[in-house]
Amino acid sequence: MVGSAIVRHLQLSGYKNIITRTRQELDLTDAAKVAEFFQGEKPDHVYVAAAKVGGIHANDVFPAEFIYENLAIETNLIHQSYKAGVKKLLFLGSSCLYPKMAAQPIEEQALLSGFLEPTNEPYAIAKIAGIKMCESYNRQYGETNGVDYRCVMPTNLYGPGDNFHENNSHVIPGLMRRFHLAKVQNNPEVLIWGDGSPLREFLYVDDLARACVFLMDLKRDIFWSKVKPMVSHINIGFGDDVSIKNLAYLIADIVGYRGEIKFDTTKPTGTPRKLLNSSAIRALGWSPKVDLATGLRNTYELFLSKGLANLGDHAV
């Protein structure tokens, strides 16, 4: 989802020589194949958007896969970027890397200041390692080799290219899929994990793409005036949040589901609140353009237009 959005924005910005590979074309967990790719292509800029991601259920069921695959992907991409002479790289983290009980809104320096949310700790540990790897390469090779590896911490994302899998999706596509199926199957109720109280911030993925290209294109002295050598990431958020309960009712309304919505309090609720302090990137001149209701309507229209409406009882 994120990689596709970045490519779209690069194209709209006039970039021509954009190098991409599908998962089928290049296994990013294979160090030898990644090394061969970088030595052959010699890219100037690298956006590290690839990751194994999923919602609460996927993180709970596949913790070993989440920590191994993400560590392998980022290690291979960052190290081989350096070996191939790449000067500029942008690494994407996630707001779930912050401590579960971080003060709100979350500032960049809150990273590693407390315990993580247990349900996604393996993923978070892996992605934190990626940020620290970028910082370490900057510290060791910034002066001598001109290395300038930047990190961003996006809030929860949604929009074109999202994963609508029955079990492994994030909250917005997961709810959208379930409410759509409930509508077409005329189900009287939809059951949602947790009590609906957690507050979440959501950003349309094309807004994130704009932010990533904006930050990558900033002159070195301007970017580094807003960060520190060992707190080098910048938050990217919408600036407002919504409860999971209110989000569910909003999505149900957009989908047109008129049944009852119930909350299963025996299931994990997750972190109480995750709202990012995005003052640094706003001070640099970026701000989001797509509000939540508009973004959700766009996402549902894409869901319908791509044939995902005919899901039956099968996962996408």
How far is the C-alpha of 77 from the C-alpha of 73, rounded, in Å? 6
Q: Which residues contact 111 (CB under 8 A, 6 or more apart)?
A: 97, 98, 128, 131, 153, 231, 233
Between the two ends of the chain, the Cα-to-Cα distance in Å is 15
Q: Is residue 300 part of a domain?
A: no
The pLDDT value recorded for residue 316 is 31
Rounded to whole angstroms, how far apart are CA atoms 143 and 134?
14
The token duo for 160 is: 């074109």
Phi, psi of 184, deg, nearest 5:
-70, -25
Residue 21 lies in a domain: yes
Query: Within a domain: residue 180?
Result: no
Please count the structural domains in the chain: 1
Residue whose pair of structure tokens reads 């910005």 in the numeric block: 13
Residue 281 is assigned to a structural domain of this protein: yes
Q: Which residue segment(s) compose the domain that 65 sits in?
A: 2-163+202-238+275-290
State the catalytic residues. Answer: 123
Residues of the chain falling short of pLDDT 50? 312-316
The pLDDT score that the predictor gives to residue 308 is 63
CATH number of residue 24's parent domain? 3.40.50.720
**Does 196 reside within a domain?**
no
Instruction: Confirm whether 170 is domain-assigned.
Output: no
In a domain, 169, yes or no: no
At position 67, the amino acid (one-letter code) is I
Assigned domain for 72 exists: yes
Read off φ and ψ for residue 190, nearest 5 degrees. Answer: -125, 130
User: What's the pLDDT score for residue 307?
Assistant: 64
As a three-state string, the secondary structure of the chain is CHHHHHHHHHHHCCCCCCCCCCCCCCCCCCHHHHHHHHHHHCCCEEEECCCCCCCHHHHHHCHHHHHHHHHHHHHHHHHHHHHCCCCEEEEECCHHHCCCCCCCCECHHHCCCCCCCHHHHHHHHHHHHHHHHHHHHHHHHHHHHCCEEEEEEECEEECCCCCCCCCCCCHHHHHHHHHHHHHHCCCCEEEEECCCCCEECEEEHHHHHHHHHHHHHCCHHHHHCCCECCECEEEECCCCCEEHHHHHHHHHHHHCCCCEEEEECCCCCCCCEECECCHHHHHHCCCCCCCHHHHHHHHHHHHHHCCCCCCCCCCC
